[in-house]
Structure formats: C-alpha cells, structure tokens
Amino acid sequence: MDTQNAKAKLLFNHATTLNLHTGNLVNRSRLKKKCPSSPSEELQDCIRATLSEWSTTTASTAGKELPSTLDCCIAQATDEITPEEREELKVSVKVFLSGSDCSSIRNAVDMACLSLGVSQLDSVIIAPPPLPEGETLTLEHLQPLWTELESLVQSLKIAAIGTSDLDKSLLEQLYNWAQVKPSSNQVNLASCCVMPPDLTAFAKEFDIQLLTHNDPKELISSTSFQEAVQESTQDQQVADWSLEWVLRYSVIVKSRGIIKSKGYLVQAKRRNL
C-alpha cells in the first residue's frame, strides 16, 4: 500500500493535467454507505473514492517516462454503451465551468463521448462559471459559451442544448439571439419554490422544457477539491491544482425511464510550475 501510494504521489507531482472519471455510480456500492447531503458532497466523495482506488492500483513507474496527463479511472467501474443498445438510451449531461475558457466545453463533451463510447450526446446543459461578488449574469457572458455549444451541435457531437438558472428576460434574450435555440432551462427550486409564471408562459410558447435542480452555484469549491485530492493521494502540493470543469452524466433507458448509469468526469490543471 505504501509503495503504491508513493507511485501515485510521484505521478501527481509530475503531472500538469488530471482527468478523472468516477465510473458508473449506480454500480459502485462502496459509495452507497451513506447518502450524500448535497451534489457537492457527492462529488467530493466520488473524487476521493476514485483517487483512493486509483492510488492503490497504479502501475509501476520504473523505467517509464512520467506522463504530464493523468487519466484516473477505475476500468471495471466504467460502463460504456454498446452500439446495439445506443438507440434505447438517452445520454444527458450538465457541464459546470470553473472559468471562462470556452474550449473547456468541447474538451468536456469529447471526454464524455470517449468515456461512454458514443459519438453524440443527446442533451447538454451548460452551467456558466460563478461570477465575482456583485456581478449579474448577462447575455454577453453567455454568448461565447453558447457559440461553442452551437458548433458542437453543428458537428453532430450534441443533439440538443440547454441552459441553467436563466430568468425569463435572459432566456428570451438568449433565444432571440441564438442560432440553435435552447431546448431546456433548469430552475433551482431552492431559490424559487414555484416556477415564475412569466418564465413558464415563455417556455410553453417556445417549446422550452423547464427542469428543476438543486445544484449550488459552485458545484465544488477549489478548497473541497484540493482536500479530496490531498486525502486520497497524500500529495502536499494540492494548492497548485485548480478545477477546469466538472461534467455530470446520466444514461437513461428511454422505454422505462430508469437510470442505467450516472457519474462524473472532472478535469483539473496544475498551476505555478
């Protein structure tokens, strides 16, 4: 165990990019010992569990060039979709951005397709990065993100795109401006226990599905992410690591409405090298 942890720590100390895939959480019974109190706690638990397991199964690094990108996943926990079952399944994802780099969206979508063994995602909802205190989300914030999503629709990587936490005014502005119209908008019922009537009326008129969620503005803080890395790898240099994005996916059996698989993909980069 100590030797394996030392290998994992060596890899972490050298790497500049971390790609993490929790695998199918439906099948990972060790994460079901307690019910997480929030999406943030669930994600932190998943990062900790995946890195801990990866650390104990790291292959020998002797005589090998250390990689700059670490792909941390548990092979037996992943659940790729076969071509035969693809038509029966709906793959929905939500991308949580940490910064304003629009290439993160394409990066996350590409990694999801690769991890799940599909060429196209059925639905992608974007959660814009948290804004500085006092700033309000505007169309100008959304436009570069939406343009990137539209290009992914045009290249057939995504079938439908949606938004999160837009009020009626901003959703209308985006709808009028966009080439590819939003097909859905998530509403956080923690901040609004009843759907606003003006939002409901607009969504109905333009065939936009209103969904509910309970995700916080920031899915996981830098501190919580760094704590999870530190606890599972014994790496003391975690302050160098910062999240780029988090993607949460659900694979649903269309005919039965049940979740076949769900999980998270995470990318982080190491700064100040």
pLDDT of residue 236: 63
Copy the structure tokens of residue 42: 């669930």
| Stronger pLDDT, 75 or 210, i.e. the higher one | 210
Does the pLDDT at position 61 exceed 70?
no
Mean pLDDT calculated for residue range 238-257: 92
Residue 38 has pLDDT above 90, yes or no: no
CA dihedral 8, 11, 15, 20 (to 10 degrees): -40
How far is Cα 247 from Cα 97, in angstroms, rounded to an integer?
9
Which letter does DSSP use for residue 58 in this model?
P
Structure tokens at 226: 């760094």
Which secondary structure element, helix H or strand E, spans residue 241, and what is its range? strand 241-253
Report the length, in residues, of the chain: 273
The number of distinct structural domains making up the chain is: 1
Domain of 213?
2-270
CA distance 14 to 8: 10
As beta bridge partners, residue 125 has: 94, 162
The dihedrals phi and psi of 129, each to the nearest 5 degrees, come to -65, 150
Which sign, positive or negative, has the C-alpha torsion 260, 252, 261, 41?
Answer: negative
Give 117-152 pLDDT, tens digit per residue: 999 999 999 999 988 888 999 999 999 999 999 999
Question: Residue 124 phi/psi, 5° resolution?
Answer: -130, 125
Strand pairing category for 209-213 and 17-21:
unpaired
User: In the prediction, which pLDDT does 55 show?
Assistant: 80
In this predicted structure, what is the pLDDT of residue 14?
Answer: 82
Within 8 A by CB and 6+ apart from 196, the residues are 167, 168
Q: What global pTM score does this model have? A: 0.91
